[in-house]
């Protein structure tokens, strides 16, 4: 038994419907948790048309809070939960292919690579094998074993939106579960407003976010670093921070506003008392 859980926030309705229809026949039920979208009534009408359960929040409880609501609403009726973003579109055999690995008891999460729809770039892992074990997985496209979700203690709502998936991945591994990535089943995903930029001899993906999101990213980034410094290799995360500041300075028209709010968010992350962070 498989459930699909979708967190929505001001979605593009045409894209959301496309995403929902891509998995409708692959799962037993779909639950949407809406974080107080401005077009919540349109979401409600679409759910009624497609016979989809809807949880409407009176405020934005974040990605982590909404995901926890979906898992609680499933009421232990499902062995696996596919978590997906409101703009992710899946191939018709995605869940079926994921279930090839369901009998591997140590696997707590099955994921896949994705194609960014605005970049038209398909992931290449340089691997001939159909699957491999990895350290982290993003939220969208993650097929989560319900027992593993419970063992990990759910999603950390202090992180709100960003780093929720990486934190969850680490806690799964800490509880003895492994993350399996399918290399032969990419799906289509939108990651902010992404474009490819060139700096010297290198090409980078540069993603633009709103000022509010930039501040949240900065705060979650610091919380994540504080939780795992000295416990997990974070050099890629540190390089990502450096790349962000460099590319923002070079290419973003709102560079100073973006950097200012990102630094404010980072400062807020440092202000949280150590005893308020989750105990490891």
Check whether 234 has a pLDDT greater than 50: yes
Task: Give me the DSSP letters along 44-83.
Answer: HHHHHHHT-EEEE-SS--HHHHHHHHHHHHTTT--SEEEE
Q: What is the pTM of this model?
A: 0.91
In whole angstroms, give the CA distance from residue 77 to residue 277: 31
pLDDT attached to residue 69? 98
pLDDT tens track for 36-80 = 999 999 999 999 999 999 999 999 999 999 999 999 999 889 999
Give residue-wise pLDDT tens across range 90-99. 999 999 999 9
Mean pLDDT calculated for residue range 234-258 = 88
Q: Give 126's pLDDT tier (boundaries 50, 70, 90).
A: very low
Task: In whole angstroms, give the CA distance from residue 280 to residue 115.
Answer: 34
Interval 152-167 mean pLDDT: 95
Question: In this predicted structure, what is the pLDDT of residue 277?
Answer: 87
Domains of the chain: 2-189 (3.90.550.10), 193-276 (no CATH)
Tell me what pLDDT residue 189 has.
83
How far apart are the two ends of the chain, measured CA to CA in Å?
32
* Lowest-confidence segment of 27-36, 124-133, 266-275 by average pLDDT: 124-133
């Amino acid at each position: 038994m498989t459930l699909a859980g979708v967190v929505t926030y001001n979605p593009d309705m045409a894209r959301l419907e496309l995403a929902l229809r891509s998995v409708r026949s692959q799962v037993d039920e779909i639950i949407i948790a809406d974080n107080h979208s401005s077009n919540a009534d349109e979401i409600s009408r679409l759910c009624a048309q497609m016979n989809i359960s809807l949880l409407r929040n009176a405020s934005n409880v974040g990605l982590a809070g909404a995901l926890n609501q979906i898992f609680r609403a499933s009421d232990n009726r499902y062995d696996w939960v596919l978590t997906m973003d409101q703009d992710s579109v899946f191939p018709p055999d995605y869940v079926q292919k994921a279930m090839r690995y369901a009998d591997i008891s140590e696997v707590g999460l099955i994921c896949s690579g994705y194609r960014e729809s605005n970049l038209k770039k398909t992931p290449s892992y340089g691997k001939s094998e159909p699957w491999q074990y990895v350290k982290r997985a993003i939220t969208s496209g993650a097929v989560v074993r319900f027992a593993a979700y419970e063992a990990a203690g759910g999603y950390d709502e202090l992180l709100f939106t960003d780093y929720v998936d990486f934190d969850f991945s680490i806690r799964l591994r800490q509880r003895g579960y492994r993350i399996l990535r399918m290399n032969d089943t990419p799906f289509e995903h939108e990651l902010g407003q992404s474009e490819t930029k060139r700096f010297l001899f290198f090409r980078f993906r540069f993603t633009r976010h709103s000022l509010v999101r930039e501040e949240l990213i900065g705060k979650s980034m610091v919380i994540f670093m504080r939780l795992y410094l000295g416990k997990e290799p974070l050099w890629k995360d540190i390089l990502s921070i450096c790349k962000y500041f460099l590319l923002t300075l070079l290419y973003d028209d709102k560079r100073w506003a973006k950097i200012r709010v990102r630094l404010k968010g980072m400062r807020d992350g440092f202000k949280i008392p150590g005893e308020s962070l989750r105990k490891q």
